[in-house]
Amino acid sequence: MRIGHGYDVHRLATGRKLILGGVDIPFEKGLLGHSDADVLAHAISDALLGAAALGDIGGHFPDTDPTYKNADSLLLLSKVCGLLEEKNYKIENIDATIIAQAPKLKPYIEKMRKNLAAACKIGFDQISVKATTEEELGFSGAGEGIAAHAVCIIMSAGDGQKA
């Protein structure tokens, strides 16, 4: 069994879509980044890569590469899951938290979970997404950005087998 942790943050900016967990959320600002800046998908990707000791999302999909300009982060997450599959790892579960003062995200959580589960080829019950505010403290509380944390457990094909 291996555990991974991922974290991502992006600045909010006008003229951008707000995409979290592959869901386009109506809001006056979106996240600024080279890709679609989906902090939730990025944090999950980093957690999975970290658990498998495969580096981080920036190493696999650098923001200096025009290939990833405005890239769909769910597609990048699918590629991360493909790397894990190549290394014989299976995702047991993912638990993620979005930190945003606004907008309210509860109405979108179920769709985020469905999108992320599909991208990872895991069951809906293997992924948890929560949202919280920072009670108007820090950059997210001031409405300057949105962050996400994710933890995961992955298993290798040999885990759980007796020698």
21 is known to lie in a ligand binding site: no
Residue 162, in any domain of the structure: no
61 is known to lie in a ligand binding site: yes
Residue 163, in any domain of the structure: no
Residue 104, in any domain of the structure: yes
Closest by CA to 48, choosing from 10, 86, 103, is 86
Number of domains in the chain: 1
CATH number at residue 11: 3.30.1330.50
Tell me the residue range of the domain where 112 lies. Answer: 2-156
pTM here? 0.94
Give the separation between CA 56 and CA 156, rounded to whole angstroms.
19
pLDDT tens digits, one per residue of 118-150? 999 999 999 999 999 998 888 888 889 999 999
Residue reference for tokens 């957690």: 47
Mean pLDDT of the chain: 94
Q: What is the pLDDT of residue 63?
A: 87
6 is known to lie in a ligand binding site: no
Section 51-70 average pLDDT? 91
133 is known to lie in a ligand binding site: yes
5 is known to lie in a ligand binding site: no
Residue 100, in any domain of the structure: yes
Q: Does pLDDT of 159 surpass 70?
A: no
99 is known to lie in a ligand binding site: no
In sequence order, the 6+-apart residues with CB closer than 8 A to the CB of 28 are: 14
Residue 69, in any domain of the structure: yes
42 is known to lie in a ligand binding site: yes
Q: What is the pLDDT of residue 69?
A: 87
56 is known to lie in a ligand binding site: yes
Query: Is 90 in a helix, a strand, or coil?
Result: strand
Give the separation between CA 138 and CA 129, rounded to whole angstroms.
22
Helices (H), the chain: 39-51, 57-60, 73-86, 109-120, 138-141
26 is known to lie in a ligand binding site: no
Confidence of residue 62 (pLDDT cuts 50, 70, 90): confident
Query: 147 near 9, Cβ under 8 Å?
Result: yes
Bridge-based pairing of strands 89-99 and 127-132 is parallel
154 is known to lie in a ligand binding site: no
Q: What is the pLDDT of residue 163?
A: 34
CA pseudo-torsion sign 34, 39, 45, 49:
positive
Residue reference for tokens 């938290």: 97
9 is known to lie in a ligand binding site: yes
57 is known to lie in a ligand binding site: yes
